Amino acid sequence: MALTKIDDRGLKTPIDLLDNEKIRLGTGNDLELYHDGSHSYIKDTGTGNLRLLTSSVFTVNNAANSQNMILATDGGAVELFHAGNRKLHTAAEGIKVFGPVDSNCDVILWADNGTDWTDGVRLRVSDAGPFTISGYNASGTAETFIEANINGAVELYHNNVKKFETTSSGATVTGGLYCSAGQQIQITGSAGSVGLQLIGQDADYSLIGTMGAHDLMFRTSSAERMRIAANGVLWHGVAPFANHFTNRSAYFHKSGSSDWNYVSITGGTSGGAGIVFGDSVGNNTGNYESLIAHDNTNNSLYLKTHQTAKGLEIKVGGDVSIIDGNLVVASGHGIDFSATSDATGKTSELLDNYEEGSFTPVITGATHSDLGSYGRYVRVGKLVTISVRIQISASAIGGGVTVTGLPFTPITGTGENYTSGGITYYDMPSSITNFDPYITAGTAIVYFFEKGSGTQLSFSSTFTAKYLGFSAMYYA
């Protein structure tokens, strides 16, 4: 049956159509309304758009008209409902999402390659809980990627293990912080503010970098201990640092894998550089207690003590000079000459003794009066050289004359009783005139024997204020 005309009296009863019988509107039957026994259809088959027009509210409700499903208000919001509860609401500022009354509101977005929802990525936003980006791995286990908590931390995860977390005082990194080759970690602050700060367990500063002044400062217990200034100067100690560090530098250097490591301290081209030791340091005019210094004018290395005193100098050619002071060798030690060539019979190359002084020689073998006895000695290693002058008045004696009181006792042993020396002055009466001193091994006694005959010196007559002078060398 086809309904081709409705008069102006209207319809007094419903129009009942069977399944698949259609109400068709428009030339060419562009719009169809019908029921196929299972579903109801509004079908636009013609040209143009299917438009639902309203001057108030367009509503889609359930069959019982007890729950809203869609509400579209003219000039206002479009609202989507779930089981009669509003979930999505358009507004002038964007989209609003609503959750159940007295419960959290969650927005969950899934990216999945199927309908099982056991893999893929999930984005969750909650008004009470954290904002979470998570997903499921191939085995179906949930893993967190990012989690942001309201009034709390933002967390980053790797393989479901937290690696980075913001805190109220900054951020916490679990594990290492690395850069790719050629890249840098840069932490900057505004002018004069802290760029990098490491804090120990007791909240004591262990390192601070001040970016505004371009200095790198190291602190303990909030006190500055060392600074690397913007001009490359290394300052060490307790601030404020001494002014004489201003134009100096200290650095470590290693130019290659096979080169040596150096601690380099450089100064001006016409001045020098050094290491200062002491508890009071002034400027570079020489007010220090001790110093290892390099002089650029002659390239010598100095060891100085007590401000300007130069104690030891090492010259460019390797010579060592003691400018002020002495070389003191501890007992049992000396100067080792083992680098020199050795002669057959060498017993030692260690120069272990030097001494000089005076002693009082005593003449024996006669009744005499000592008018003045003087002795000087020099000892180098084992060799002792003595010089003696004796003035006495004495009576003639028949026994031999000797001198005792030597500073050292000669070495005991075969061949050790060699003596060289001679009489320098003699005016005492004697039957012999050509004689020399002789010192025996193991006894500190000087004998006098005539050359050739071996006759021992004796006085032939009484005399007054006569002199005996001689020198001798022996091993001690």
pLDDT tens for each residue of the chain, 476 residues long:
555 665 655 566 778 889 888 888 888 888 889 899 899 888 888 778 888 888 899 999 998 999 999 999 999 999 999 999 888 889 988 888 776 655 556 666 666 665 555 556 666 666 667 888 887 777 778 888 899 988 899 999 999 999 999 999 889 999 888 877 767 666 666 555 555 666 555 555 555 565 455 677 777 766 777 777 777 766 665 555 443 344 444 544 444 555 555 566 666 666 677 777 665 554 444 455 667 877 777 888 878 766 556 678 888 888 888 887 778 888 878 888 888 888 887 878 888 889 999 999 999 877 888 899 999 999 999 899 999 999 999 888 667 899 999 999 998 876 666 677 899 999 999 888 889 999 888 889 999 999 888 899 988 889 999 999 999 999 98
Q: Are residues 212 and 259 in the same domain?
A: no
Domain holding 156, by residue range, is 100-173
Of 241, 272, 300, the position where a domain reaches its end is 241
> Does a structural domain hold residue 312?
yes
Q: Are residues 28 and 82 in the same domain?
A: yes
> Does a structural domain hold residue 35?
yes
Question: 267-300 in b/e burial notation, b at 16+ Cβ within 10 A?
Answer: beeeebbbebeeeebeebeeebebbebbbeeeeb
Q: Are residues 108 and 89 in the same domain?
A: no
Cβ neighbours of 155 (radius 10 Å): 19
Q: Are residues 451 and 412 in the same domain?
A: yes
> Does a structural domain hold residue 169?
yes
> Does a structural domain hold residue 178?
no
Peptide bond into 361 cis (omega under 30): no
> Does a structural domain hold residue 360?
yes
Q: Are residues 200 and 298 in the same domain?
A: no
Q: Is 59 helix (H, G, I), strand (E, B) or coil?
A: strand
How many CA atoms lie less than 13 Å away from 431 in the CB half-sphere? 13
User: Residue 456 has what DSSP assignment?
Assistant: B
Domain total of the chain: 5
Q: Are residues 307 and 277 in the same domain?
A: yes
Q: Note whether 129 and 106 are within 8 A (CB).
A: yes
Residue 463 sits in a domain of what CATH number?
2.60.40
Of 95, 129, 152, the position where a domain reaches its end is 95
Instruction: Find, among 475, 391, 473, the residue nearest to 437 by Cα.
Output: 473
> Does a structural domain hold residue 204?
yes
Q: Which two tokens stand for residue 243?
A: 């002014």
> Does a structural domain hold residue 278?
yes
Q: Are residues 387 and 419 in the same domain?
A: yes
Q: Are residues 206 and 164 in the same domain?
A: no
Q: Are residues 370 and 446 in the same domain?
A: yes
The whole-model pTM stands at 0.47
pLDDT at 76: 92
pLDDT at 125: 66
pLDDT at 177: 81
Q: Which two tokens stand for residue 366?
A: 């006669």
Q: Which two tokens stand for residue 138?
A: 């191939």
Of 53, 77, 95, the position where a domain reaches its end is 95
Q: Would you call 407 exposed, middle or buried from its count of C-beta atoms within 10 A (0-12, 13-18, 19+)? A: buried
> Does a structural domain hold residue 6?
no
Q: Note whether 31 and 24 are within 8 A (CB).
A: yes
User: Residue 20 has what DSSP assignment?
Assistant: T
Residue bearing tokens 């002495």: 326
* Mean pLDDT estimate for the chain: 78
Q: Strand order in 309-314's β-sheet? A: 272-277, 290-295, 300-305, 309-314, 320-322
Q: Are residues 164 and 270 in the same domain?
A: no
Q: Is 245 helix (H, G, I), strand (E, B) or coil?
A: helix
Q: Which two tokens stand for residue 240?
A: 């404020």
Q: Are residues 468 and 437 in the same domain?
A: yes
Q: Are residues 297 and 378 in the same domain?
A: no
